[in-house]
Structure 1
Amino acid sequence: MQLEGIRVVSFNHFLMGPLGVQFLGDLGAEIIAIEPPKGAFQRHWGGQNSKRAGGETTLELVANRNKKSICLDLKSPEAVEIAKKLIETADVVAENFRPGVMEKLGLGYEELKKINPGLIFASASGFGADGPYVNRPGQDMIAQSLSGMAWITGKQGEVPRLIGTSAIDQHGAMIYAAGILGALVKKARTGEGGRVDVNLFSAALNLQAESLVCYFNGERPVSTQQPASVGSWYHEAPYGIYATADRYIGLSLGNLGVMLEAIGLAETFNITQEEAFARREEISAVFAERLKTKPFHEWAQILEARDIWYTEVNDYDALAKDPQVLHNGDFVEVESWNGEKITLVANPVRYNGVVAPIRLVPQKLGAQTEEVLTELGISNEHLDDLVAKGTIGPK
């Protein structure tokens, strides 16, 4: 495994932090997730009325495989000392509390690097470690709305629209993982640790780099909301999604003349490639009307013959049967800690053609508390005392 021998102590909760650290766990790092006695937030909220599978909320299942779970009440000074003892053995501490919380717990970077000078301290926050928004709550909907993402996803004249999934959290998680990986490479070369900071707001801007660079350079558009069927404010027609006689079809970038010929309007609709942006609402209306006249499979044959980029538009039921999804093994069925079958989304990276294995399914709260603390040299008698005081979760 690529990160075998790397130990990460994780204080993450909700989605961006846990998902980023899970990526490291998939690559072989030992992840020790520290949770409070009642469990981290994701154990109590899972979408669709806190839907559960395999004994856990679905949000817990999204981002907590390949991790050991230990239960510490960090309000207890003794639990903080246990955490510090564990951190002495770590390569990375990762957390996504609001800025200042780790310092209040006595677990801030300046304190921890005294006991582990080579430590990498990775922090994921809503808006960054400082600045005017430092104390604002950070969450995916807030980031989508504040960053302009919801605005550019909406249609002109309509209410701004959220993407439909926690895209910023998930993109931010990959930036978080990449930042930690970069720090680990530096540590391998120099022995030096350091601090890594990522935030949800900057991740939202990074995800919009194509749109933002287009907007802030040269002439600016009247509106950055999507027009009619066109998929974004900065694309020409007919780029977007349209209804056919029986289902939806997505049209990608292509030569407008060839595309008009494919739908049988090259002779009757006089328009050039150079006008594809300026007259895009007119063009998209023509395509929308024409594409309704045939079922998807007929259009697919016509477009395929002309090497025009197109796609079916899957719902989730169709996605589960998609041949490329099945070939790639993107969905993995495993047995949860309580014996129930659950479906997880596989790690997207292949090394030498092999998908990263699931060594641990998302664990029951505190499942490895006794194992990890025993490795630190804490006796059974001391463990019993800590359980009795509520400093740690049940053995």
Structure 2
Amino acid sequence: MSHTPTGPLKGLRVLDLTRVLAGPTCTQMLGDLGAEVIKVERPEAGDDTRGFAPPFWPETKESAYFLGVNRNKLSLTLDIAKPEGQAIVHRLLETCDVLVENFKVGALAKYGLGWEQLSKKYPGLIYCSITGFGQTGPYAPRPGYDALIQAMGGVMSLTGEPNGTPQKVGIPVADLFAGLYGCIGILAALNHRRETGQGQHIDIGMLDTHVAWLANQGMNYLATGENPPRLGNQHPNIAPYQEFPTKDGYIILAIGNDPTFERFCKAFGQEHLLADERFATNPRRVENRQLVTDTLTPVMRSRTTKEWIEALEALKIGCGPINTLKDVFADPHVQARGCVVEMPHASGATVRVIANPVRLSATPPDYRTAPPVLGEHTEAVLRGMLGMSEAEVAALKAKGVV
């Protein structure tokens, strides 16, 4: 197995009964911070995302999707539908601090692994459930999928061109936010347990977390009772704050306040706009956003993207190119920040993964082990942690339990 974990969660043991994205995002974050994460996967099949391909990572049979959220985990194949599998879960829970699961509501209870059942036997256990709609409410039994949650949570109604169709975000933000909120809940519960000795149940619903990060747009609705319209790349509360065409492409121009707008106008021959009340303050520019866009578009077309960035950055005006992913990973700042990490994989290949963005000065994220191949650590967990004999493990394999 791997070298000794480091980090603020060193010594924490997590039983990971999650798959796909929301749950694995949560447990990878815990693993990066030093927790020992035991990922339980179905024998032969494994996590669903092992089959979410192409693309596979070169020279491996692993999907890029799976590799993205499963580093710093031990893969234990285990059939929890079998009594022997359930018994192994209980043995592991004797030394585990946290259980994370994303089964449908009530699904684990039929195996004796629900919160109400386990909390009686393991009163210090922190049990985090991540589902589409949470453990209560009329939608609780429904399955949750990222696009579905983006639709029901309102984000799709806010995303896209004004006269176009509703659009989802290009990455699965509903899953990712649920996983991150789950991690936050676990960290809070650990602090509570340290003070009281009590574990607790953390109920994370993807729809809840999606509503929570409606942020300014959610507040705009609550303040007015009006549904915010789709604005394409424009900001609902600031103008100009959007993309503009340049001589050779596009640029994001982010003018966040009136002094910055004044600086922009004086530097680029638009000082006359400052005497026009329609441009004088941010609220008026928001009210007249189409006029602002139409007025500034020919100005922005007068220079190349590079020329604009150099000129605007010199004036400390927010701006940036619209990068492809190739541009992102080639960006000197992204490279200087170490946003990609290379890890030796069990296949013999080297895989590159996207780094944890949490920069801790004393206990930084720890990249111990690459995402595991299916069942890579089954024998190590059963024999090393649980003290099973070779014969016992062989018997479990013969029965299809592991």
The two structures have a TM-score, normalised by structure 2, of: 0.91
Tell me how far 1:100 sits from its aligned partner. Answer: 0.9
> Is the CA contact 2:242–2:252 (under 8 Å) kept in the aligned structure 1?
yes
Given that 2:57 and 2:351 are in contact with CA atoms closer than 8 Å, whether structure 1 keeps it comes out as no
Correspondence 1:376 to 2:378: no
RMSD: 1.8
Of 254, 258, 271, the match for 2:257? 254
Is the deviation greater in 372-381 or in 119-128?
A: 372-381
1:172 counterpart = 2:178: yes
Aligned-residue offset at 1:356: 1.2
The question of whether the paired residues in 1 share the 8 Å contact of 2:221 and 2:228 is answered with: no
Query: What amino acid is aligned across from residue 231 of structure 2 in structure 1?
Result: Q
Given candidates 46, 64, 77, the residue that maps to 1:39 is 46
Q: Indicate which of 341, 344, 363 corresponds to 1:332.
A: 341
Correspondent of 2:280 among 260, 272, 284 = 272
**Contact 2:273-2:280 within 8 A present in 1 as well:** no
- Does the CA-based 8 Å contact 2:339-2:357 persist in structure 1? yes
Indicate which of 109, 112, 124 corresponds to 1:118. Answer: 124
Cα 1:166–1:284 change in 2 (3 A) is: same
Q: Which residue of 1 aligns with 2:397?
A: 387
Q: Deviations over 1:342-385 (max 9, x none)?
A: 21011111221664121111011111111111121322111111
Q: In the TM superposition, what is the alpha-carbon distance from 1:248 to its structure 2 partner?
A: 1.7
Does structure 2 conserve the Cα–Cα contact (< 8 Å) formed by 1:12 and 1:94? yes
| Contact 1:346/1:355, CA 8 A, preserved across alignment | no
Secondary structure, aligned partner of 2:348: coil
Report Cα offsets for 1:77-112 as digits up to 9, x if no partner. Answer: 111111111112211111011111111221101211
The whole-number CA distance in structure 1 between the counterparts of 2:227 and 2:97 is 50
Q: Report the CA distance between 1:70 and its aligned residue.
A: 0.5
Distance in 1 between residues matched to 2:35 and 2:306, nearest whole Å: 46
Q: Aligned with 1:351: secondary structure?
A: coil
What SS does the aligned partner of 1:25 have? helix
Q: Tell me what 1:144 maps to.
A: 150
> Gaps (5+ residues) in structure 1?
none
Distance 2:68 2:12 in 1: 22
Do the aligned partners of 1:44 and 1:50 also contact (CA within 8 Å) in 2? no
- C-alpha spacing 1:135/1:159, structure 2 compared with 1 (3 Å): same
What is the DSSP-based 3-state SS (H/G/I as helix, E as strand, rest coil) of the residue aligned with 2:272?
Answer: coil
After TM superposition, give the deviation of residue 289 of structure 1 in Å: 2.6
The answer as to whether partners of 1:79 and 1:391 remain within 8 angstroms in 2 is yes
CA distance in 1 between partners of 2:226 and 2:208 (Å):
23
Q: Secondary structure at the match of 2:341?
A: strand
Instruction: State the AA in 2 paired with 1:380.
Output: E
- TM-score after normalising by structure 1: 0.93
